Amino acid sequence: MRLCALPMVMPTIVGIFGVVAVYGGSGYLALAAQAVGLDWKPRLYGLGGILIAHVFFNLPLAIRLLLPAFASVPAESWRLAAQLGMGSRDIFRIIEIPLLRQQLPGIGIIIFMLCFTTFAVALTLGGGPGATTLEVAIYQALRFDFDLRLGAMLAILQILFCAGGAWAVWRTGRQMVLGTSARLVAYRYDGRTRGARLADFGVIVLGAIFLVLPILALVQKGLIGITAAASVESLLHAGLISLGLGLAGGMTATLIGYLIAQARQRAVSLGRKRGAMLLGLAGRLGLFVSPMVIGTGIFLAASGHIDLYRLAAAGVILLSAVMALPFVLGVLEPALEVAAERHDRLCAALGLTGWNRFCHTDWPTLRRPIATALALSSVIAMGDLGAIALFGNQDMVNLTLLLYSQLGAYRLDGAASTALILLALALVFYWTIERVVGGRELH
């Protein structure tokens, strides 16, 4: 599960480089073909490359979303299945298929929306007009053609698609009623045969190889090409900009996310379900509306009033915060729900409200979830390519934009080192924020 978390916190452009290092024309796959005497090179750039990159980034997300669904099956159900002598086929038909029918449509649509609104993957691996997505078309209209009208039309088209996806998620987001549980440890008795264990082992190994190979390739090529990296001054300057923009974007997203989560929790406690649902949907705008659409809105709102290229940092921070907001809410909302369940009555009895309640009750309880939300949003903001590509300029080049320019110029050795530095910086950044802000775990 820790391996599944890595692609989720890894900057997208870094993961793309790892995919190129394995499946590109001079990647591991091509070298393996040469080693066995085959004159074959994979053609990564195009729809095939986009598909591989999307699977690399979203396979861990699918696993992490499906595991809680399987974990929600009460232990009594597995024991009853064993007592009735049900085999794997019967368990799949009676327990797993109904569960998957409830969960898979929603998870599939969420991942489809993430792939539909992706920017960095399509821009880097598109390979030409044949694989141009709406995201890239909006970016080209705004950045190169300066055609706000075309950008707005494309943005409206994408909003319509995203609204359809959001409606589908809302319609399919149902929970399967599995009954109450005595909170026993859930063991599956059908997976203890040698054949089942071998099948499980094979699937896990194949998945691990698919996820690990790009990371290993990135580390290997990054260490080899360290001498071809950019100058120390350029790397230091870009690294400081990455840290500054990432921290500012993360703090903005965490603050807004905390306020939205609090307002939603208050609406739930007052029985205002529709208001709570609208607040949740508003906070998840970045999940269903692409950064290019939001950027188009910012461009249109600022047109004739503000020179966005002079206030590029503000645009990058705002856009990256909106994109990180759904992940912040995903961490804070469950924690706030538990905290409200435990402390609302006590705080009401003691008259603790506002800032006093936050300092004496909420902060000690929510410190670690807040730290996780801040670390996750900061890393997402630091590695986001869409915001910096849309609003960035020559004076504001972070490591993500530097890596993209090196990839575009086919300076793959230097790009490998920059990607490795960005990955290491993101992991250290994430760990430092969690440790410093989160403190020690309360027992």
For the cut 90, the answer to whether the pLDDT of residue 10 exceeds it is no
For residues 408-428, give the mean pLDDT. 82
Q: Yes or no: say if 222 and 415 are a contact pair by the CB < 8 Å rule.
A: no
Residue among 412, 11, 395 at smallest CA distance from 220: 412
Cα distances from 264 to residues 269, 291, 354, 373, in angstroms, run 9, 24, 16, 17
Say which residue the tokens 């319509």 belong to.
160
- Give every CB contact of residue 190 below 8 A, 6+ residues apart in sequence: 81, 82, 86, 87, 88, 91, 196
| Cα 357 from Cα 316, distance rounded (Å) | 33
For the cut 70, the answer to whether the pLDDT of residue 38 exceeds it is yes
For the cut 60, the answer to whether the pLDDT of residue 177 exceeds it is no
Cα distances from 336 to residues 64, 389, 439, in angstroms, run 21, 35, 18
Condensed to tens digits (0 to 9), the pLDDT of residues 51-98 reads 898 898 888 888 877 877 777 777 778 888 888 888 878 888 888 888
For residue 145, the tally of other CB atoms under 10 A from its CB is 10
Helix 12-23 vs helix 194-224: angle between axes, to the nearest 10 degrees? 100
Torsion of CA 321, 400, 379, 155, to 10 degrees: 30
| Cα 75 from Cα 80, distance rounded (Å) | 9
Long-range CB pairs of 302-307, under 8 A, 24+ apart, other chains included: 303/148
For residues 374-391, give the mean pLDDT. 83
| Cα 314 from Cα 321, distance rounded (Å) | 10
| Cα 255 from Cα 105, distance rounded (Å) | 32
Residue among 252, 312, 309 at smallest CA distance from 286: 252
Condensed to tens digits (0 to 9), the pLDDT of residues 383-417 reads 887 777 777 777 788 888 888 888 777 777 778 88
Flag the least confident range among 24-33, 422-431, 434-443: 434-443
Torsion of CA 127, 128, 134, 135, to 10 degrees: 50
pLDDT for the residue 333: 85
Residue 345 burial class via C-beta count within 10 angstroms: exposed 0-12, middle 13-18, buried 19 and up: exposed
pLDDT for the residue 442: 52
| Cα 201 from Cα 191, distance rounded (Å) | 11
Flag the least confident range among 41-55, 91-105, 120-134: 120-134
The tokens describing 197, both together, are: 């264990």
For residues 180-205, give the mean pLDDT. 74
pLDDT for the residue 303: 65
Q: Yes or no: say if 429 and 374 are a contact pair by the CB < 8 Å rule.
A: no
Cα distances from 49 to residues 110, 121, 432, in angstroms, run 21, 9, 34
For the cut 60, the answer to whether the pLDDT of residue 183 exceeds it is no
pLDDT for the residue 152: 76
Condensed to tens digits (0 to 9), the pLDDT of residues 263-312 reads 988 888 888 888 887 887 777 777 667 666 777 677 677 766 766 667 77
Q: Yes or no: say if 309 and 391 are a contact pair by the CB < 8 Å rule.
A: yes
pTM of the full predicted structure? 0.73
| Greatest mean pLDDT range, 9-13, 172-176, 201-205 | 201-205
pLDDT for the residue 443: 47
For residues 25-46, give the mean pLDDT. 83
| Cα 143 from Cα 229, distance rounded (Å) | 27
Arithmetic mean of pLDDT over the chain? 80
Residue 194 burial class via C-beta count within 10 angstroms: exposed 0-12, middle 13-18, buried 19 and up: exposed
The rounded percent of the chain whose pLDDT value lies above 90 is 6
Residue among 192, 386, 154, 363 at smallest CA distance from 291: 386
Residue 438 burial class via C-beta count within 10 angstroms: exposed 0-12, middle 13-18, buried 19 and up: middle
Q: Yes or no: say if 115 and 54 are a contact pair by the CB < 8 Å rule.
A: yes
State the pLDDT confidence band at 251, using cuts at 50, 70 and 90.
very high
Higher pLDDT, residue 247 or 345: 247
For the cut 80, the answer to whether the pLDDT of residue 212 exceeds it is yes
Residue 201 burial class via C-beta count within 10 angstroms: exposed 0-12, middle 13-18, buried 19 and up: exposed
Say which residue the tokens 């936050």 belong to.
358
